[in-house]
Homo-oligomer: A and B are copies of this chain.
Amino acid sequence: MKLRIQAVTWQEDACVLIDQTKLPSQITYLTCRHYREVVDAIRRLAVRGAPAIGIAGAYAVVLAAREGVTPLEKALTEIREARPTAVNLSWAVSRMQALISDPKKIPLERLLQEAQAIHEEDLLGNERMAELGAALLAKGKPVMTYCNTGDLATGGIGTAFGVLRQGYEDKKISHVYACETRPVLQGLRLTTWELQQNEIPFTAICDNMAALILRDRDVGAIILGADRIAANGDAANKVGTYALAVLAKYHGVPFYVVAPTSTFDLHLGSGDQIPIETRPSSEIVGVLGNNQPPVALEVWNPSFDVTPHDLITAIVCEKGVIHRPEASTLKAILDKPSPH
């Protein structure tokens, strides 16, 4: 049974989100009728994944406009800043904002159309990236993925996950190793769930076991997403990605980043300019449940890291494949017209 999951939808004047904090044990939905409910959902990771929070952010703008928030500008800033690293969120808000020339004449109908267009384009982009990414793979090998990049993280079948799905269908992928992705366990909770829904054989591992798999299991590729890509190809993604990139290089395994053009931030020359979100220590020590230490622990919890472009074999976006990403190869692909 290939269930079509939708992380974000627009239904009867509301933005409806799967509450991803409850997965995989419970499928519950949040019906957001106020933009602040969406902002809250983004902050507490009820909806996450760079493309998905872009889409949710666009619908949040629709809600704020319909609520008649004044100044609307302030609400837009709040939405834009709900999370700092993924550029898709501010990209979507800016695209919505561009439609508002006169704050006294908010084009409500046009805003909803634009949000739906952002959603639809993401869905189509996913399908294109799935084809382009699968074409990079050799026959019948296992691959590794990280964090969560499927239906739950996007508007369609996913970024990296779309490649997994297409690659498995094309018999280019035999098996998926899904890293658990500490601290919030998007891999163990969400990706395994999506792999089950799609009947793709997989093994879940702790992040610290990835090196062994890369050494011993003839892995064809590591395939994962991104939250923001700078003009030189440096890519921010879930913390732990940089380590995997180094391990991939050491073991001679191709390292593919799959992300739509909405994830690129060409205003930034390199990855060191990407803002990295630091999240609460409770996400790390929460794992101890009732077995908490008597004295609070000093903990560091960055949510993202930046992988330098020279560790990335290729970036797949809906406009094409950027082999050996750097400023020139990136520009050559991004200057192409959109495929849809």
What is the CA–CA distance of A203 and B299 in the complex, to the nearest angstrom?
A: 5
Residue A68 at the chain B interface, CB threshold 8 Å: no
What is the CA–CA distance of A108 and B211 in the complex, to the nearest angstrom?
A: 47
B-chain residues with CB within 8 Å of residue A295 when the two chains form the complex: 196
Q: Would you call A24 and B294 a contact (CB within 8 A)?
A: yes
Choose one: B206, B240, B297; the contact of A284 (CB below 8 Å): B206
Q: Would you call A192 and B293 a contact (CB within 8 A)?
A: yes
Q: Would you call A300 and B246 a contact (CB within 8 A)?
A: no
What is the CA–CA distance of A164 and B82 in the complex, to the nearest angstrom?
A: 40
- Segment 176-191 of A: residues with Cβ below 8 Å from B: 179-183, 185, 188-189
**In whole Å, how far is A270's beta carbon from the nearest beta carbon of chain B?**
15
Knowing A193-B293, A299-B203 are in contact, say whether A243-B210 is a contact too (CB < 8 A): yes
Knowing A209-B239, A209-B302 are in contact, say whether A182-B183 is a contact too (CB < 8 A): no
B-chain residues with CB within 8 Å of residue A246 when the two chains form the complex: 211, 246-247, 250
Q: Would you call A300 and B207 a contact (CB within 8 A)?
A: no
- Segment 243-267 of A: residues with Cβ below 8 Å from B: 243, 246-247, 249-250
Which residue on B lies nearest to A249, using beta carbons? B250
What is the CA–CA distance of A215 and B206 in the complex, to the nearest angstrom?
A: 22
B-chain residues with CB within 8 Å of residue A242 when the two chains form the complex: 211-212, 215
Contact-residue size bin, chain A (C-beta under 8 Å from the other chain) = 35 or more
What is the CA–CA distance of A256 and B202 in the complex, to the nearest angstrom?
A: 35
Residue A136 at the chain B interface, CB threshold 8 Å: no
| Per-residue contact bits, chain A 156-194, to B (CB 8 Å; 1 contact, 0 not) | 000000000000000000000001111101001100110
Choose one: B202, B208, B215, B290; the contact of A239 (CB below 8 Å): B208
- Segment 62-81 of A: residues with Cβ below 8 Å from B: none
Residue A305 at the chain B interface, CB threshold 8 Å: yes
B-chain residues with CB within 8 Å of residue A240 when the two chains form the complex: 206, 208-209
Q: Would you call B289 and A203 a contact (CB within 8 A)?
A: no
| Per-residue contact bits, chain A 270-311, to B (CB 8 Å; 1 contact, 0 not) | 000000000000001101111111110111111001000000
Chosen A-B contacts, 21 in total, with CB atoms closer than 8 Å, are A25-B290, A25-B294, A180-B284, A182-B207, A182-B208, A188-B287, A188-B288, A188-B297, A192-B293, A196-B295, A204-B298, A205-B284, A205-B300, A206-B207, A206-B284, A207-B207, A208-B240, A209-B240, A209-B302, A209-B305, A247-B247
Given pairs A189-B288, A203-B300, 6 additional interface contacts (CB within 8 A): A24-B288, A182-B207, A185-B288, A206-B207, A208-B239, A211-B242
